[in-house]
Structures are given as C-alpha cells and as structure tokens.
Amino acid sequence: MTRSLYVIGNWKMHKTINEAVNFINDFSKSLTDQQHAYLAVPFTALSPSAKIAEQNGSLHIGAQNMHDVSEGAFTGEVSAMMLKEAGASFVLLGHSERRQYFNESNAFINAKIKKALSEGIQPVLCIGESIEERESGKTMDILNTQLSECLDGVDAEAMASIVIAYEPVWAIGSGLSASPEIAQETASSIREQLSAIYSKDISDLTSLLYGGSVKVENVNAYVNEKDIDGVLVGGASLNEKVFAEIVKTVYNSRLVKS
C-alpha cells in the first residue's frame, strides 16, 4: 500500500502577481525531483505562477475555489475550464472559510467535486468540525456527513484522484493546532468511514492530510502519524523559506516513516 504524499500551501487572499512570481522563482529552486510541493494561489496569480512552475516538474499550482457549472450568469465566479486553462492542476474545495463566510453547502461542494473531476482537475476536499461540535462529541457525525454528502455519487474509480484534508475549524489560523494524537485518531476514523462508503482498498489508498496551524516545528509529528499523508498549510506557506523548510522536513520524516 503506497499513498502519495502532499505538502500543499494555501495562500488564501494573499499575494499580488508580483509577489507570487517572486516567491515561486525563489521557492522552486529549493525543490528536488523527489520533493513535490503544491500551492493554492489566488485566481489572479494562477497563470503567471503556473507558467513558472511548468519549468519545474516538482511544483504544482492550483486554485482555492471554483464554481460547479461551465459558464453562465454567475458574477464573480470562475469555472473549472478557466482554472484548467490558467494552469491549475488541483483545486481546494469545501475549505471551512468558504463554508463559513460564503455559506457553501455539502451539496454545492459535491457538485464542484464532480465538475473538477470531469475537467481533469484534482479536487482536495476539506472537511472539519467546529470547537462546539468537538466539545459536544459530534466530531465524527459532522465529518461523516461532510464525507458522505460531498462524495455522493462520486464513484470508486474517481477516488484515486481525490485528496481529503482534515482541518479542524478551531485549529485554522488560530495557532491552536490539534495534537498529533487527535489528528491521527480523527484521520483513522475518516479512513474507517471511507471504507464504509467505498471499500477498505479505496480507503487505504486515499491520501489524508492534516491542516490547521501547521509549522516547521510541528509538521514532523503529523506526518509521522500512520494515517496522515501530508499537510495543508496556510499562514506558514506565505514565506518561501519557511514553506521550503516544511517541505524538506516532511520528506525527511517520510524516509524515517517508511
């Protein structure tokens, strides 16, 4: 059983085109052929970032959101086809900030996943519980609902190109990262749920990431956990040296893990 390893940076609403280009020019030099990194950049920076990344087989550029229909009267939205042409190879879907500030439902995220798959863009499905949900013992109910509704009608074959990021809402941007034990315990329950929805084989092959206040100092502990196959990094991906250090640390600890 081999699962792919992912280190994904999520810039959120940070970096102009110039800032993105400067970052990527520097950062891409730190990657080796074996060490891959993924960056979810703002829409405006997609095309220039992807053009630089093309020269470097180890850096993959993606988007942070998209709409589920191909085109139409949806002011302010961007389609999968547009992302693809701009050079996005993956897209974050269902990030808790989209759910919280833009009222995205599991049904909408489900439609986006199907659209991304049909355009050949790899979906990174983000799921996570709030602090109230965790404290009232509802974490797995919430995650199971997010999983089954977001993956509704997504067939087993398509799971080969889907990555799932577990991001407890209370750990995002708060500095309060989940302990590696909590992250592992939850990742293992997510894997059980995937096994129930699909099969043990599919579940065993799905890459599960942890996200929420990941930094150089704690990344090693997460990726050493059995069910965690990488990280989704917000704040700590904004500085090229820090993000390069995170990538290096993940790949070094992976060698120890396997």
What residues are annotated to the active site? 95, 167
- Find the binding residues for ligand PGA in span 233-252 (CB under 6 A): 233-236
Binding segment (CB under 6 A) for ligand PGA, from list 110-118, 132-140, 146-154, 165-173: 165-173
In total, the chain counts a number of residues equal to 258
Least CB distance from residue 157 to ligand PGA, whole Å?
27
**211 interacts with ligand PGA by CB under 6 A:** yes
Asked if 172 touches ligand PGA (CB under 6 A), the answer is yes
Query: By C-beta, is 96 or 110 nearer to ligand PGA?
Result: 96
Contact between 167 and ligand PGA per CB under 6 A: yes
Region binding ligand PGA by CB under 6 A among candidate stretches 102-110, 152-160, 227-235, 244-252? 227-235
Rounded to the nearest whole angstrom, what is the least distance from the CB of residue 172 to ligand PGA in the complex? 4
Interface with ligand PGA includes 212 (CB under 6 A)?
A: yes
Binding site for ligand PGA (CB under 6 A): 10, 167, 172-173, 211-214, 232-236
